[in-house]
Chains A and B, each alone.
Chain A
């Protein structure tokens, strides 16, 4: 972080960077060796997407102390922006079949479209932030949740269908699969459909980490710790809250665009408040105020919900014995129990407020990791 910290932390930081690099290499290698339909890749792609959104939510909830529940709304904005900008012109008449081919008649490359997705989400956040950020804690949560619901309804409004395709699907835009490098005959030469989302999420999370370790990041944390003192130290509360809100939404927008790439189609009605709660759950399980925690728990969460706990939703036979209770929806019951256990006994989550390098330091920040947190 600073000169002093660096002297002590060098080794730990380098180990952490090494671990992250190893993970990327492992993902790359696994992708070349395992069949592309393997469940692992579903988990990794969705996990990377959720990790980015969770970290962006953590930036707001964990580091700036603004309890916002609008994440699904900003993801929706990002997903739509990305989809609208990248559908190939040739495909537009088919996609916008009820709206004469739609309004937008150009196509952008993927990366600029991703950045636009973030920017549009940030603009929405700016406008919503003007009235909403005056509110504190629960009221802010309710207001942002309300925004997410409204935006979902607005995007399905058929009068703006020329732009959003009303309540119909947006599809045919580039997805993760399009990152695979193919030979002329259509066979895949190099699989990159998992590595690229990892890279996008990695760059974005890296930027958030840099932000948190900057002067502005410290100002955000000061606001979280004590608004009155922060203001007395010359930190303009409304401006910095607005900054944090827009930055968080920028990355949530990119996360939404990544989710669109993952699902290969976009429909407003899938961005429900349940999605926000999933992200909130990831943040809480990972540890409010830990970027590493959010990343780890998003992969755990996605792995559980998509893969490891799937069996709970189906009838299972052990020999002739049918295991009771297991039927469609039981997975969610188990999830609820896990949440209750976490909230009751592991309030700090997996990481508390520690980060990856802290694990390799001889004297981790004791007071920070102490149980009870702010209490």
Chain B
């Protein structure tokens, strides 16, 4: 058995925009090697939670740690002091923020719900960009191509990665010209190229048909093994979620309403009510 490491730990994370509490006191954790799913109806605050984890937003209140290192901690300050509508006010005293690029460097990679590829670059270039932050060159050596060996290694690794993801035949195509499904895989390839330990997938199966979804499930399991990844994913395809997740967190209106294994979640009446709506006549 692998030693258990707490890869990601969210503690009472609240994200409030003006008067809207998008994420309300969310506490969750992901251990190494796990596949954890974050589900919930539209607008439940799942993507907001992702944006907090990856440093796009600073939480209004609460703490986020990655491998026991605090990457974000905040308490309601400034205008939020008066407006704050969440719980656990006053428990956190420090203001810590980490920029998204720094978090990526620490080993958290992500994909986006609405695909965000570098559209005017080729497939290979998209993956090469992801290698940039770990390369040891500077502006001068890179301009004069003095780091040829590194450049060559990175290029070979990228091609190998693209081959693995079934994109080997389109490496010189423009990223925007790929069919939708391949664009999703390219986003994953790009995220993998940053050499992450924790991979955040935001609706990876969006727009895929059942057959493609099954292939994606297998693929996610495969990359977990091969790259030793821990995966946190947001998904609406319940088949995929129930298939591959070790644990599931359910959000509704920013609040966590359930947590458990797929079997537990399927039977949970609160979850069923949130998804199907409560029967008001009874």
Residues of A within 8 A of B (CB): 1-5, 8, 207, 210-211, 214-216, 218-219, 221-222, 224-226, 228-237, 243, 247, 289, 353, 365-368, 374
- Give the CA-CA distance A318 to B130 in the complex, in Å: 64
Contacts of A224 in B (CB 8 A): 120
> Which among B110, B124, B143, B172 is the interface contact of A232 at CB below 8 angstroms?
B110
Q: By the criterion CB–CB under 8 Å, are B144 and A216 in contact?
A: no
Q: Assess whether B5 is interfacial by the CB under 8 Å rule.
A: no
Q: By the criterion CB–CB under 8 Å, are B54 and A232 in contact?
A: yes
Q: A211-B143, A222-B121, A225-B118 are known contacts. Are A365 and B132 too (CB-CB below 8 A)?
A: no
Q: Assess whether B174 is interfacial by the CB under 8 Å rule.
A: yes
> Which among B129, B144, B155 is the interface contact of A222 at CB below 8 angstroms?
B129
Q: By the criterion CB–CB under 8 Å, are A233 and B174 in contact?
A: no
Residues of B within 8 A of A (CB): 54, 56, 99-102, 104-105, 109-110, 112, 116-122, 124-125, 128-135, 137, 139, 142-145, 151-152, 154-156, 159, 171-174, 176-177, 190, 194
A-B contact pairs, 21 of them (CB 8 A): A210-B143, A210-B145, A214-B142, A215-B154, A216-B137, A218-B129, A221-B118, A221-B120, A222-B132, A224-B120, A225-B118, A225-B120, A231-B99, A231-B104, A233-B101, A233-B194, A234-B101, A235-B132, A237-B101, A353-B120, A367-B176
Of all chain B residues, which has the CB nearest A363?
B172
New A-B contacts (15) at CB < 8 Å, excluding given A3-B155, A226-B118, A234-B104? A4-B171, A4-B172, A211-B142, A211-B143, A214-B137, A214-B145, A225-B118, A225-B121, A230-B118, A233-B129, A234-B133, A235-B101, A237-B101, A368-B174, A374-B120
Contacts of B122 in A (CB 8 A): 365
> Which among B105, B116, B128, B143 is the interface contact of A234 at CB below 8 angstroms?
B105
Contacts of A1 in B (CB 8 A): 125
Contacts of B132 in A (CB 8 A): 215-216, 218-219, 222, 233-235
- Give the distance to chain B from A131, nearest Cβ to Cβ, in Å: 18
Contacts of A3 in B (CB 8 A): 152, 155-156
> Which among B104, B118, B159, B177 is the interface contact of A4 at CB below 8 angstroms?
B159
- Give the CA-CA distance A228 to B194 in the complex, in Å: 15
Q: A5-B172, A366-B177 are known contacts. Are A247 and B139 too (CB-CB below 8 A)?
A: yes
Q: Which of B110, B118, B122 has the most CB of A within 10 A?
A: B118
- Give the CA-CA distance A237 to B102 in the complex, in Å: 11
- Give the CA-CA distance A215 to B124 in the complex, in Å: 12
Contacts of B105 in A (CB 8 A): 234
- Give the distance to chain B from A227, nearest Cβ to Cβ, in Å: 10
Contacts of A221 in B (CB 8 A): 118, 120-121, 125, 129
- Give the distance to chain B from A299, nearest Cβ to Cβ, in Å: 25
Contacts of B172 in A (CB 8 A): 4-5, 8
Q: By the criterion CB–CB under 8 Å, are A210 and B144 in contact?
A: yes
Main SS of the interface on chain B? helix
Contacts of A226 in B (CB 8 A): 116-119
- Give the distance to chain A from B46, nearest Cβ to Cβ, in Å: 17
Q: By the criterion CB–CB under 8 Å, are A4 and B124 in contact?
A: yes
- Give the CA-CA distance A243 to B130 in the complex, in Å: 18
- Give the CA-CA distance A368 to B104 in the complex, in Å: 29
Q: By the criterion CB–CB under 8 Å, are A219 and B101 in contact?
A: no
Q: By the criterion CB–CB under 8 Å, are B121 and A214 in contact?
A: no
Contacts of B101 in A (CB 8 A): 231-237
- Give the CA-CA distance A247 to B139 in the complex, in Å: 9
Q: By the criterion CB–CB under 8 Å, are B143 and A207 in contact?
A: yes
Q: A221-B121, A367-B177 are known contacts. Are A230 and B143 too (CB-CB below 8 A)?
A: no
Of all chain B residues, which has the CB nearest A244?
B139
- Give the CA-CA distance A229 to B99 in the complex, in Å: 13
Contacts of B110 in A (CB 8 A): 232
Q: Which 10 pairs of residues, A with B, have the shortest CB-CB distance?
A: A234-B133, A367-B174, A234-B104, A225-B118, A229-B116, A214-B142, A231-B100, A211-B143, A367-B177, A222-B129
- Give the CA-CA distance A1 to B171 in the complex, in Å: 13
Q: A214-B145, A367-B177 are known contacts. Are A230 and B56 too (CB-CB below 8 A)?
A: no
- Give the CA-CA distance A243 to B124 in the complex, in Å: 24
Of all chain A residues, which has the CB nearest B150?
A215
Contacts of B173 in A (CB 8 A): 367
Contacts of B134 in A (CB 8 A): 234
Q: By the criterion CB–CB under 8 Å, are A218 and B120 in contact?
A: no
- Give the CA-CA distance A137 to B56 in the complex, in Å: 20
Q: By the criterion CB–CB under 8 Å, are A233 and B133 in contact?
A: yes
Contacts of B145 in A (CB 8 A): 210, 214
Q: A215-B151, A231-B99, A233-B104 are known contacts. Are A222 and B118 too (CB-CB below 8 A)?
A: yes
Contacts of B135 in A (CB 8 A): 215
- Give the CA-CA distance A216 to B129 in the complex, in Å: 9
Q: By the criterion CB–CB under 8 Å, are B56 and A228 in contact?
A: yes
- Give the CA-CA distance A374 to B176 in the complex, in Å: 10
Q: By the criterion CB–CB under 8 Å, are A228 and B177 in contact?
A: no
Q: Which of A4, A222, A236 has the most CB of B within 10 A?
A: A222
Q: By the criterion CB–CB under 8 Å, are A235 and B120 in contact?
A: no
Q: A216-B139, A233-B130, A365-B174 are known contacts. Are A225 and B119 too (CB-CB below 8 A)?
A: yes
